[in-house]
Structure 1
């Protein structure tokens, strides 16, 4: 697992360049089938458009990547958008850039800029989110240790307290940045004289937007 960026919702955003309308459509996808369904839906909606340029990337390592220029000169539409997404580290995403020709030819360089600008505009509109890998671990301990452990965790930037429940003992669920995991656990064990029961850690994704945690 590795950190990556994506989008969390569908969005459409239109810009006009030299009288041509460019409508960027974006959707989060997890499979090639989902991407193809989204592309087909946009093509049906804009069946009378001059071009519907599809691009999608799936997987943190871009295991699946597809694009088409959909009738635009080769290399002026799909591939520059795909390369922009990869440069930004964005994946699990499908884009369809719809163009209604306005009568003015843009030239090769103009088309590249227009399609990438349209993609950037819809991404800015929807807001890119970041999926960050964390280690998830459950800890169980006596009430007498709760204040000490909570204060420690609340003052450690790499640590997020996801949940705390109380019964005969305290159960705390932590999310810890992988590179800090060993150090954090060692410090908790040390400060409690090894009186904390630790579960097996598991990797998971947390969702951030503009560096703010939005989903645990």
Structure 2
């Protein structure tokens, strides 16, 4: 089974620690060239900042790179990378820009600030899961709707669309390996009145953890 996690979109978050301003930014990328282009983009935009620490993880080739960009060794890039390793997120680049505020944070303070900036930026981006799904059409009555919706969630699925008419038609995605069990469960629970129709299979990403507003 193919399954991995990626940023849903770009994300940005700011943190002020002892007058130092940390700006964390996250993007989804698929190559080292794309990752380094994002890093350079940040350097140009925040040309007056003291540090632009970064990391990236790529699924293709398993590349993992990071840089402390002048901060004490081990206090920035590696802690940032650790965040994405813990979250199992790949195809991601993160840059944390620091505007120095005149007060030294110490090694522990730097690790915490850079780690939190990376995590907050990821939270702002949200996380999607990429896996093989079976698209299904589920016709049901209004009385059955909530139960069907609960079953979709229980099987790790996603409701993509709902059409309301004389009855209800749900367009859902169910993990490929559970699709047969899902259809059988609905058929059994409804005494044969809900017959699920398959509408195809696809490898695609769907939101897994919604973005958090850090403003």
Q: TM-score, normalised by structure 1?
A: 0.71
Cα distance change of structure 1 residues 103 and 180 upon mapping to structure 2, 3 Å threshold? same
The SS at the match of 1:113 is helix
What is the aligned partner in structure 2 of residue 9 from structure 1? 10
C-alpha displacement of 1:146: 5.1
CA deviation vs aligned residue, 1:188-208 (integer Å, no higher than 9, x gap): 78877xx98756644433223
CA shift, 1:101, in A, is: 1.9
Q: 1:24 to 1:62 in 2, by over 3 A?
A: farther
CA distance in 2, matches of 1:160, 1:121: 25
Where does the alignment leave 5 or more consecutive residues of structure 1 unmatched? 140-144, 166-170, 212-216
CA offset digits 1:80-105 (Å, max 9, x no partner)? 11012211222222111111222222
Contact 1:7–1:93 (Cα < 8 Å) also in 2: no
Match of 1:156 in 2: 151
Change (3 A) 1:23 1:180: same
Contact 2:134 2:179 in 1 (8 A): no
Structure 1 residues 42 and 197: CA distance shift in structure 2, 3 A: closer
Give distance in 2, aligned partners of 1:199 and 1:16.
50
- Structure 1 equivalent of residue 181 of structure 2: 183
When structure 1 is superposed on structure 2, of 174-183 and 83-92 the one drifting more is: 174-183
Task: Confirm whether residue 48 of structure 1 aligns to residue 48 of structure 2.
Answer: yes
Partner deviation per Cα, 1:150-179 (whole Å, 9 max, x = no partner)? 8685562235564699xxxxx986421334
| Cα distance change of structure 1 residues 162 and 121 upon mapping to structure 2, 3 Å threshold | closer
**1:137 and 1:123 mapped to 2: Cα distance?**
28
2-side partners of 1:172 and 1:111: how far apart? 49
Deviation sequence 1:42-67 (CA, Å, 0-9, x none): 011122221111111222x8812111
Which secondary structure state, in structure 2, belongs to the residue aligned with residue 79 of structure 1?
Answer: helix
Shift of 1:41: 0.6
- Deviation of 1:79 after TM superposition, in Å, equals 0.1
Q: Please tell me whether the aligned partners of residues 18 and 102 of structure 1 are also in contact (alpha carbons under 8 angstroms).
A: yes
**Cα offset, 1:73, TM superposition:** 1.3
Cα 1:74/1:62, change in 2 over 3 Å: farther
Give the whole-Å Cα distance in 1 for the aligned partners of 2:150 and 2:107: 53
Structure 1 residues 128 and 202: alpha-carbon distance in aligned structure 2, compared to 1, 3 A threshold? closer
Tell me: CA distance 1:122–1:10, structure 2 relative to 1, closer, same or farther (3 Å): closer
Q: For 1:90-133, what per-residue CA distance to the aligned partner results, in whole angstroms no more than 9, with x for missing partners? A: 22221111112222222211211121122233334x24223253
Give the match for residue 58 of structure 2: 58
Specify the alignment match of 1:214 in structure 2.
none
The 3-state SS of whatever aligns with 2:7 is strand
